[in-house]
Amino acid sequence: MTPLLEDDINLIEDPDLVARSLDERIETAFKAICFLALLLPLMLLAVLFGDVMLDAIPRLSLDFIRNFPSRLPIRAGILPALVGSAWLMVLTAAIAIPLGVGAALYLEEYARPGTLTSIIEINIGNLAGVPSIIYGLLGLELFVRVMQMGRSLLAGAATLALLVLPVVIMSSREALRTVPNPLREAAWGLGADRWQTLRRVILPMSVPGILTGIILSLARAIGETAPLIALGAITYIDYLPDSVRSKFTALPIQIFNWVSRPDPEFHLNAAAGIVVLLALMLSMNGIAIWLRIRLQKRANW
């Protein structure tokens, strides 16, 4: 017994070992700090959600969704903004989906490596980093002024479509890449040309993946404020848009309008608007996640 105990004591006094256990303690502390750094933003996110929810409660009611904006904060609702956002989403999707998926198909299935292809690719990467307010300036000059669309839903949707296009293209390309090459080669081997292969084999297989990307980018677009303001979307509207030429407002613009008023009563309206906006975004994200899970199940065939 005794020699062993002595050994233990020797071990503990071994300066190298003491140093090592100190190192270990520092490492644990470091690990904890890194973990906290990761948790801190997430906790802030939770606080943000909680804070907005609490502020929103006094305003959240059916009337809030059914009413038009008003000078009285209690009576002010988001109906025109909600309808405007719905119109914008549908129109943006109608413009961005064919263009984005088309571009992805071109780059993945048709383009041969060359200068032009790499120009298009680098350009898409760069566009993804252009601040959204710049797209607003583009829309203001190109759609509102030169193409004479006015400050209409169509101009807004066209601007948002260009804004989300890089993301739609990149996510669609990723979805197309998941289709295994042997399937393409099998179709070609059966005498199908590229277009037939695309339409009958590749597109049907990659649709869930493409849809996921599209829904996620539309969920982004629904929260975009700056480009629509630059475009001149109005903040007060007392009618519902009835055509693509109508002037419009949208959820984030209505929220911005309420936040920027000095009367804190209106801030509660902004909070309620934020809850509606986040609920819409989260349900869109939920649909996208559900689609992705289905896709993964199918991919394991």
Residues in 205-264 that interact with other proteins by CB under 8 A:
219-220, 222-226, 229-232, 235, 252, 255-256, 259-260, 264
- Give least dist CB 1 to other proteins, A: 33
Paired strand residues for 152 = 247
Among 6, 9, 12, 35, binds other proteins (CB under 8 A): 35
Among the candidate windows 2-10, 77-85, 136-144, 204-212, which touches other proteins by CB under 8 A?
A: 136-144
Total binding residues toward other proteins, as defined by CB under 8 A:
91
Cα 164–Cα 165–Cα 170 angle in degrees, nearest 5: 105
Q: Give the other-Cβ count within 10 Å of 137's Cβ.
A: 14
Among 126, 178, 283, 296, binds other proteins (CB under 8 A): 126
Q: In terms of CB distance, is 13 or 16 closer to other proteins?
A: 16
Contact 101, 210 (CB under 8 A): yes
57 binds other proteins (CB under 8 A): no
Amino acid at 160: L
- Spatial separation of the C-alpha atoms in residues 123 and 114, rounded to whole Å: 14
Q: Is the dihedral of CA 224, 225, 226, 228 positive or negative?
A: positive
Q: What is the dihedral of CA 7, 8, 10, 14, to 10 degrees?
A: 130
Among the candidate windows 32-40, 63-71, 73-81, 238-246, which touches other proteins by CB under 8 A?
A: 32-40
Among the candidate windows 4-12, 80-88, 189-197, 201-209, which touches other proteins by CB under 8 A?
A: 189-197
Q: Show contacts with other proteins in window 58-117 (CB under 8 A).
A: 98-103, 105-107, 109-111
- Give least dist CB 55 to other proteins, A: 7
Q: Rounded to whole angstroms, what are the CA distances from 144 to 70, 85, 178?
A: 28, 18, 39
